[in-house]
Amino acid sequence: MNIRHRLENIYRLGIKELFSLRQDMVLIALIIWAFSFAIYTAATGLSHDLHNASIAIVDQDRSQLSMRIQDGFQEPYFKKPVRIDYSQIDRVMDGGDYTFVLVIPAGFEADVIAGHQPEIQLNIDATAMMQAGIGESYITSIFSQEIRTWMGGKTQAAAQNAPSPVNLVLRYAFNPNAESAWFTSVMEIINNVTMLSIILAGAALIREREHGTIEHLLVMPLAPFEIMMAKVWANGLIILAASGLSLIFVVELLLQVPIAGSETLFLFGTMLYLFFATALGIFLATLAQSMPQFGLLFMLVVLPMRLLSGGYTPTESQPQLMQWIMEFVPSTHYVTIAQSILYRNAGLEIVWPEFAMVAGIGGLFFAFAAFRFRKSIAVMRN
């Protein structure tokens, strides 16, 4: 069979896959949700910033400085501070009324002027772990700023006795305002590319098996590679188009996230990665006998990939053995490609090693998945 005839078979089988998917409204709804509403809700609802944190203050000093510090807690980072008595601390913390309860002791202003560095008690509801960690640094910064400003109006002798906070100038690269939506939205696209490409390719094979149409293909003069390649290009094309549209209309237009680099280069990297992800879906489908089994295998494989690929936790923070293992997983390099191009405006001259790793490892796994698919087809034919 010549190459042209093989390509025609792959093309026609791919068109059949697209028509089959058109009949599956559940999968279509999943694709639309994953690349639109899911990205928007993750970027706006799951915030890594401090926003409207509840705080109560026990002001036992009632001095000018303590009042100034209270005024420093402003929206949108904190809700308006509520004054409570010291005896109320345990009750409001147990009831979850406030995330932070600050106690300013009596004689606080006098101790600051005398240079005694008084201790401040900050009670934190650590069940809200994300706000707790970020809020602690915010409150520390507010104290330093307000004390520095307030001491600037005192006498020179008093200012010399007061603690002098370090004037730390911060510069956030690639995200000047440290907005979590900039990070979360793009990472959701990356995660959904992996998730949907595995699901679509695997579900396509299982759907053929459950509906009995795979037997029709087996009696036709078709090679297993042609059947598998058709599923790869058809389902990969859908994911590639959905990710490109999501990047433009949801991330850039709706969420107003500026994309620094080339979207075309990112989509090219996505196309290379899809060969691995769709092949992984087909491989899992050859192991599973039904959709429930496929779903269990999907969770066992995809969840570790999401957590360990560097999208949420930097790979250098992971154990050395885990770092070595993840170097051979294309999703790790795909995350690096996406972050380098979309955030840092990296060109091909910078990310070509990651492209090579995705193409090389993905190609090897694609060949392995094709071998496994060929064996499963041979068993069905016999």
Segment 117-145, tens digit of pLDDT: 788 888 887 665 566 777 788 888 888 88
Tokens of 293: 């089994």
Same domain, 252 and 360: yes
Q: Is residue 353 part of a domain?
A: yes
- Residue where one domain finishes, among candidates 161, 189, 214: 161
**β-strand 82-83 against 55-59: which pairing, if any?**
parallel
From 109, 127, 161, the end of a domain falls on 161
**Domain-embedded: residue 71:** yes
Quote the domain boundaries for residue 19: 3-46+179-381
Q: Is 167 strand, coil or helix?
A: coil
Question: Could you tell me what percent of the chain has a pLDDT over 70?
Answer: 88
Number of domains in the chain: 2
Residues 126 and 214 in one domain: no
On whether both 339 and 236 belong to a single domain, the answer is yes
Domain co-membership, 190 together with 335: yes
Same domain assignment for residues 127 and 155 = yes
173 found inside a domain = no
Q: Classify residue 103: in a domain, yes or no.
A: yes
Q: What is the mean pLDDT of the chain?
A: 84
140 within domain boundaries: yes
Q: Do 118 and 188 sit in the same domain of this protein?
A: no
180-204: pLDDT as tens digits: 778 888 889 999 999 999 999 998 8
Alpha helix segments (H runs only) across the chain: 3-23, 25-34, 37-45, 64-71, 89-94, 108-114, 129-151, 156-161, 180-211, 213-218, 224-245, 263-287, 291-308, 320-326, 330-342, 348-381
CATH code for position 76: 3.40.1710.10
Q: Are residues 104 and 219 in the same domain?
A: no
Instruction: Clarify whether residues 8 and 82 are in a common domain.
Output: no
Note whether residue 172 is domain-resident: no
Instruction: Indicate the residue among 135, 161, 187 that finishes a domain.
Output: 161
Q: Are residues 244 and 210 in the same domain?
A: yes
> Is the same domain home to 232 and 335?
yes
- pTM of this prediction? 0.76
Q: Which two tokens stand for residue 157?
A: 């002798």
Q: Are residues 220 and 369 in the same domain?
A: yes
pLDDT tier at 166 (50, 70, 90 boundaries)? very low
Note whether residue 100 is domain-resident: yes
For residue 156, pLDDT beyond 50: no
Instruction: Answer yes or no: is 83 within a domain.
Output: yes
pLDDT value, residue 279: 93
pLDDT of the residue at 158: 47
Q: Does 96 have pLDDT greater than 80?
A: no
Q: Assess whether 186 and 76 both reside in one domain.
A: no
Q: How far apart are the C-alpha atoms of 198 and 238, rounded to whole Å?
A: 12
Q: Rounded to whole angstroms, how far apart are CA atoms 356 and 263?
A: 19
Asked whether the predicted pLDDT for residue 169 surpasses 70, the reply is no
Does residue 4 carry a pLDDT above 90? Answer: no
What single letter denotes the amino acid at residue 44?
T
